[in-house]
Amino acid sequence: MSNVTYTQDVHQAWGGVIPELASRAHEARIIPVVDAAINNAKITKQSISAIAFTRGPGLPGSLMVGVSFAKAMALSLNLPLIDVHHMQAHILAHFIKTPGQEFNPPQFPFLCLTVSGGHTQIVKINSYFDFEVIGETIDDAAGEAFDKTAKLLGLPYPGGPLIDKYAKMGDPTKFSFAKPQIKDYDFSFSGFKTSVLYSLQKWQAENPNFVEENLADLCASIQKTIVDVLIDKMKKAVKEYKVQDIALAGGVSANSGLRHAFEKLGKDLKVNTHIPPFSYCTDNAAMIAITGYHKYLAKDFTGQDISAMARWEM
């Protein structure tokens, strides 16, 4: 009914998220954002059936603001509370119905490639509540690989969307970077990041304007390396798990190179691909609400005695 997002610009000046600034911005914005959501939906607080909130995983200070707010609101309105796992919510974003838009969710069981600023996972989803993580990153997440290499190029935070933008004008075969080979369905991006760093140091020693002169080709090549690593693992997983549906989730699924490669993978392997609308890819409240909705139908509530989980296995 409404999906309000407040983006914290305060982190741009620092080239990354500063946890304390994030908590403070959450504290300052949470009431105006909830108010806007209620007003946009044209409902009253009294017509709400339950409060769903993100319990984790994530930055503890930010999570605690949301958890405390949700508990207080539920207590004051005498409503049930529903705790939501952030990564489960990214996946269940596929089940959000948008008025006036076609609704074609993935069929169980399906495989989801979840790629965000903090996570990179391949998950097998058997039902709304039955999730099996079959592979994940052992170091950096895909979003971090985008953001950290963007920083090496002198781009502001978050650099992922900017790499995407410049990559559209560049040649992805111009430069090649290390693609770490990790067993089974796990990922690793730290070796790739180091390879970009050392290559740039070498090229810039020869030509101080190297990055400016080659920005589009560098971005296209960086993007292609990250996308290839993700798609290769996904391809292997689809063949082994023999699913008919595959899905993309998390902030990095906004990347145009990844969306394109994912569609192509589906065509090549003759499986159905599902990519949520852009506004449901990056962090948003609708994905928490849809997860809350399914937990509500299952009467899966939580008490006032819980707290935030910075780390939380799905």
Least distance CB 62 / Zn ion (angstroms): 12
Least distance from ligand KG4 to the Cβ atom of residue 163, Å? 6
Shortest distance in whole angstroms from residue 47 CB to ligand KG4: 29
Q: Which does 252 bind (CB under 5 to 8 A by kind): Zn ion, ligand KG4, none?
A: ligand KG4
| Nearest-approach distance from CB 180 to ligand KG4, in angstroms | 19
Q: How far is the CB of 136 from Zn ion (least distance, A)?
A: 14
Which helix or strand (DSSP H or E) is residue 54 part of?
Answer: strand 51-56
* Residue 88 partner contact from Zn ion, ligand KG4, none using kind-dependent CB cut-offs of 5 to 8 Å: none
CA contacts within 13 A on the Cβ side of 172: 14
> Could you say which of ligand KG4, Zn ion, none residue 255 binds, taking C-beta under 5 to 8 angstroms by partner kind?
ligand KG4
* Contacts of 64 by beta carbon, 8 Å cutoff, 6+ apart: 23, 307, 308
66 binds, among Zn ion, ligand KG4, none (CB under 5 to 8 A by kind): none
Cα 296 to Cα 50, 70, 77, 81, 290, distances in angstroms = 8, 15, 17, 9, 10
Interface pick for Zn ion out of 54, 62, 116, 221 (rule CB under 5 A)? 116
DSSP 75-133: HHHT--EEEEEHHHHHHHGGG---TTS---PPPSSEEEEEE-SS-EEEEEESSSS-EEE
Nearest distance from C-beta of residue 90 to Zn ion, angstroms: 6
Distance CA 103, CA 262 (A): 19
Which residue's CB atom is positioned nearest to ligand KG4?
251
Answer for which of 59, 283, 308, 309 binds Zn ion (CB under 5 A) is: 283
**How many angstroms separate the CA atoms of 120 and 187, rounded?**
8
Name the residues that contact ligand KG4, by CB under 6 A: 116-118, 143, 146-147, 158, 160-161, 164, 250-252, 254-255, 282-283
Binding mask 64-103 for Zn ion (x = CB under 5 A): ----------------------------------------
Question: Residue 287 belongs to what H/E stretch?
Answer: helix 286-297
Distance CA 265, CA 260 (A): 9
Which residues of this chain interact with Zn ion, rule CB under 5 A?
A: 116, 283
